[in-house]
Chains A and B, each alone.
Chain A
Amino acid sequence: MVYRSGSREGRDGRDGRSVGAGVTPGGDPVLAARLTVPSVPGTFVRRERLVEQLDEGAGRPLTLVDGPAGAGKTLLVADWVTARAPGAVAWLTVEPQDSAPGVFWSYVLHALRHHGIALPEHIRGPARPGEVDHSLLARLAAWLNERDSRVILVLDEFDRVAESAAVADELQFVLRHAGDGLRLVVISRTEPLLPLYRYRAAGELVDIRADDLAFRAEETAALVDRHGLPLSAEAARALTERTEGWAAGLRLCALAAQRADDPESFLDDFEAGHSTVADFLLGEVLRAQPAETQDLLLRTSILERTHPDLTNALTGRDDAEPVLETLQRANAFVEPLGHSWYRLHSLFAEILRVRLRVRHPGLEPELHRRAAEWLSRAGLLDEALRHAADAGDWELAATELVGQLAIGRLLTGLAAERLDALFAGMAPEASGPAPDLVRAARELAHHDVDRGVTYLRRAEENLPDLGADSTDDAAATRLSCAVLRVLAARVVGSADLAETAARDAAEAEQALPADRLERSPELTALMLTDLGSAQLWAGRFDAARGTLSAAVDAAAEGLSTAFPRHEAPGRVAKVPPAGRRLARTLAAPDESPRTSSTRASARHAESTLPHARTTSRGGTPMTPPGPPSGRTTGLSQHALGRLALIDFLHGRPGQAEAHARGAVAEAERSGLPVAYRTGMPQLVLAAVAVDRDDLTAAQDHLDEAAATSAASRDPLMAVELAILRSRMLVARGDPRAALSALDDMTRQPLGSAEPSPWVSDRIAMATAAAHLADGDPKAAVKVFEEQPLHSPESRAAEARARVAAGDGERALRILDALPESRDQGPAVDVWLLLTRAQVLEARGDSPAAEGLVLRALAAARPHQLRRPFLEAGPWLGRLLRRPALAREHTWLTGTLAPHRAQPPPPEPLSAREQDVLERLAQLMSTEEIAADLHLSVNTVKTHLKSIYRKLAATRRGEAVRHARDLGLL
């Protein structure tokens, strides 16, 4: 039984409207096309038996529609979605580059959003193309599971990512954990790598395969009838047999017969023939078209989607619009996507491409080149680059990438790996500044600074001038070059070089129109982050703070443009591009960080910056490119992490924590795998925890920081990690181990980094602190004699060492010489006050010392800074044990009194006891430990008793916990 499509009128899809779409397509026609439910042509025959299968599938987790090209899979599901409205449907047409999981999931999330399914804030697009943090998928699944209504996710052309086991695994994971909240419909030419047998066995799969999709004789009759060709039952049966019920064959056959002089004899001839179905019929249909139409179809076959203007660029004529419209009305070859865009049927395009190569040998590269130029002008950079590469025109590809200010996308964001792979094919002959900049960016992205700098130098030699008559492209080239120079300067640790390059960048920015800069928020955010990092390394803290805050702002702006809520066209962004602030940042380094971060969060909350719009030649509004997920996603974690470190260094644990937690949240929302996080925020959190004497939390954060790749690549991270480890060891009562950890670190070369003045101060302070804890004040003093000091914090540390070594006068002179009022936080204040108190106490002025200790306590209390008191020495214990003080400061004395005032080092464990302890920590039983160590059970029990005694424990759990606290495990 065949019904006529009930919804033919008014939905021939010319307006490209998508079903259930709460927002208009993202302005990007290519993206919109991937998210739009394809329109169903008037000649479509709805087949109830298949609709019933799909209905049934909506009640189960997985529906699989698989069959060969042209079997009618997409239209079947599109018609079902449109006519039956089975609930909230998100449609995604998969593309080959989506086989990178990060890219795939970012498009899935975008599809959900596009179809009006509002995702919560904690589920944000992945920031890395190659990987998605599993917790993001878990959050997505849990959220889908908890919703009241289900979401039907349709993945069309899934075969394009069929070889990606990771995508299949992740899809399976989300499907499993989303419960009834998610129904998956997979449309594919090949079977997906999902465990289909398991779904089948559990009755959780509806499988619509080639045999089901094949037309039956009566359905063939209905289809041909739609084309105005009544067919006898016998003829329908014969045609079905000849085409094996293949939808594309039937459709072409009807079109060809329509155009034949004698349709009936055409059908008879076709049935009797033996040619391959599609090729033969396509030839017949094509032959019936005017020569111009044939030429147009051959030339546009190199494109997946086309637009009248783009088509004209390929044909060199101006008749594309009427021709495409005629083709669409005839339901031949092209399908409208809305906004004047059309899609060629992929099967037909494939065959047409073969014909193009035969009939116009050598024309293909030229067509790709023209397409690249047009697409780039239209702001569709990703597509443009692919065609430029297909044309083998690498100078064009590199010039477009640089000209569109997109060089940063080789370094950050979802497109990074894909662009890197694309440009890996770049011919060595390609020359000029743009190809060299691309080469430099790729080398820098691969952490090969020397080679990167070599290419950068070569590019610099050929840079275009920024004269009065210079072009935007010249400015873009200079800006890109400057941004890469800032990056290189950061890696070698030179703030001077970074600042010089940043000034060049600012100058180049002045020569560029604002809307062009706005389209590349990641470029500014990247440069500011690198600049701020270089300034931080050089100890230019105020400048670094201003720059890094501006970087956070720039990244936030990038996010807001990445998830645009598209408003009425014509509204123009009023906010100046972040890059414009750069000149100001460089000129006025004292810009209050508070103002700028408040501004960032306010703007972030609004999130309504519309895209800048360009207009194509045909007057079609088009929006510049941008993958669905922010190119700046996850970028601000770097700047926030370094801001947190600056706060910590200036003794402000509260602000340090806030910045660090902001950075962690940003990385989590973006689904960044741990290895790609900066690690800096965790390191700062660990450092603050050490100051509070919360060693368990500190160890957790420290482990997280050490697990990131930055731990080995970033010299600042490497140094701060070593310092933090040494402080932990001192806190656990093992200053010797702390000293050897510091010694190891200073022996390792820090890459090619220029020395950092304050970093060597910090190493000296940590070393001296370990000597003091080891009861060797002379060694501590010696550290400072060998090391010229820079910061007041380290001068205070020297004073501490001097007074401990008995030179109170010298200590006092140092303290008195410190500048009076400084920009310092409570943590520094506490150290200064305690050091001065120690000097006064040593001179016998106890009342004055006590007053200072009280002030130190008041400053430390809001942040629970216990560490300075624990490390101050025995003199402080006498003061703190006084009842009045102890009562008022239980936050400190509670931890201090019982075991901390003079932490007795535990009696060392014997080697055997250590063996037993390690197995205890693995939850092995006494018997298992005995077996494992080839000891008797009684011997193990003896060892256990001894361990309990030495660790002051009464139970296994307690022993293990104490051992961990003491760093024995």
Chain B
Amino acid sequence: MRYEIRVDGEMSDELTTAFPELKTFVVPSQTVLYGPVDDEAHLYGLLVRFQSLGLRVAEFRRLPE
């Protein structure tokens, strides 16, 4: 499964290291993270990680294979 997650705001390079398994790029006012998500546990784990870092998830979608 591959996912793309958009969070509000431009994340600093330092902060993106909290998601070493995902690639990132910045668009105006948003940061896009994308990459493989192993399973459901990983998915929920990601959500918790975003939340605990005070990041707002604006969009969360599965990429077509």
Contacts and interface: CB of A to CB of B under 8 A. Distances in A.
Nearest to A276: B9
B15 to A, nearest CB: 5
A817 interface: no
A354 B54 contact: no
Interface string B14-48: 11011000000000110100000000000000000
B53 A347 contact: yes
A942 B4 CA distance: 76
B6 to A, nearest CB: 12
Contact of A279 (B15, B29, B52): B15
B7 interface: yes
A430 to B, nearest CB: 27
B54 A274 contact: no
Contacts of B54: 68-70, 246, 248-249, 276-279, 347, 350-351
A277 B17 contact: no
A357 B7 CA distance: 22
Given A275-B9, A276-B7, A276-B31, A354 B14 contact: yes
B51 A358 contact: no
Contacts of A249: 54
Closest 7 CB pairs of A and B: A276-B9, A278-B54, A354-B18, A274-B29, A279-B15, A350-B52, A274-B10
Nearest to B16: A354
Given A354-B18, A357-B17, A275 B10 contact: yes
Contacts of B9: 274-277, 279-280
Given A70-B54, A278-B54, A279-B54, 11 more contacts: A68-B51, A68-B56, A244-B56, A275-B9, A276-B31, A277-B54, A279-B14, A347-B53, A347-B54, A350-B54, A351-B54
Nearest to B17: A358
Contacts, number: 64
A278 B55 CA distance: 8
B55 A276 contact: yes
A187 B53 CA distance: 18
A244 B8 CA distance: 11
Nearest to A281: B54
Contacts of B8: 276
Interface string A343-364: 0001100110011011000000
B55 to A, nearest CB: 6
Contacts of B29: 274
Nearest to A283: B12
B11 interface: yes
A140 B46 CA distance: 38
B52 A276 contact: no
A276 B28 contact: no
A279 B52 CA distance: 12
A189 B11 CA distance: 22
A274 B28 CA distance: 7
B8 to A, nearest CB: 7
A459 B2 CA distance: 48
B35 to A, nearest CB: 18
Contacts of B18: 354
Interface in A221-251: 244, 246, 248-249
Contacts of B55: 276, 278
B17 A350 contact: no
Nearest to B7: A276
Interface string A244-262: 1010110000000000000
Contacts of A246: 54
Contact of A69 (B7, B15, B51): B51
Interface of A: 68-70, 189, 244, 246, 248-249, 274-280, 283, 346-347, 350-351, 354-355, 357-358
Contacts of A346: 52
A358 B18 CA distance: 9
A347 B17 contact: no
A421 B2 CA distance: 31
Contact of B11 (A69, A248, A276, A357): A276
Nearest to A280: B12
Given A69-B52, A70-B54, A276 B17 contact: no
Contacts of A276: 7-12, 15, 31, 54-55
6 contacts: A274-B29, A276-B8, A276-B54, A350-B53, A354-B18, A355-B14
B54 to A, nearest CB: 4
A269 to B, nearest CB: 14
A68 B10 CA distance: 19
Given A274-B9, A351-B15, A354-B18, A279 B56 contact: no
Contacts of A278: 53-55
Contacts of A351: 15, 53-54
A371 to B, nearest CB: 20
A354 B53 contact: yes
A467 to B, nearest CB: 51
Nearest to B57: A68
A70 B54 CA distance: 7
B26 to A, nearest CB: 9
Nearest to A70: B54
Contacts of A355: 14
B24 to A, nearest CB: 12
A350 B9 CA distance: 18
**Residue among B9, B14, B18, B54 having the largest count of chain A Cβ atoms under 10 Å:** B54
A350 B54 CA distance: 9
Nearest to A249: B54
Nearest to B11: A276
Contacts of A280: 9, 12
A244 B9 CA distance: 12
Nearest to B9: A276
Contacts of B15: 276, 279, 351, 354
Given A274-B9, A280-B12, A354 B52 contact: no
Contacts of A69: 51-52, 54
B56 A358 contact: no
A815 to B, nearest CB: 73
B34 to A, nearest CB: 17
Contact of B14 (A248, A274, A277, A358): A358
Nearest to A361: B17
A248 B52 CA distance: 12
Given A68-B56, A354-B17, A357-B17, A279 B11 contact: yes
Nearest to B12: A279
Contacts of B14: 279, 354-355, 358
A279 to B, nearest CB: 5
A330 to B, nearest CB: 20
B57 to A, nearest CB: 10
Nearest to B31: A276
Contacts of B10: 274-276
Nearest to A347: B54
A892 B55 CA distance: 80
**Residue among A274, A277, A278 having the largest count of chain B Cβ atoms under 10 Å:** A274
Contacts of A68: 51, 54, 56
Nearest to A355: B14
Contacts of A70: 54
A277 B8 CA distance: 9
A382 to B, nearest CB: 22
Contacts of B52: 69, 346-347, 350
Nearest to B13: A358
Contacts of A189: 51
Contacts of A279: 9, 11-12, 14-15, 53-54
A165 to B, nearest CB: 15
B11 to A, nearest CB: 5
A246 B9 CA distance: 14
Nearest to A359: B14
A896 B61 CA distance: 81
A277 B53 CA distance: 10
Nearest to A68: B51
A249 B17 CA distance: 21
A277 B14 CA distance: 14
A646 to B, nearest CB: 51
Contacts of A357: 17
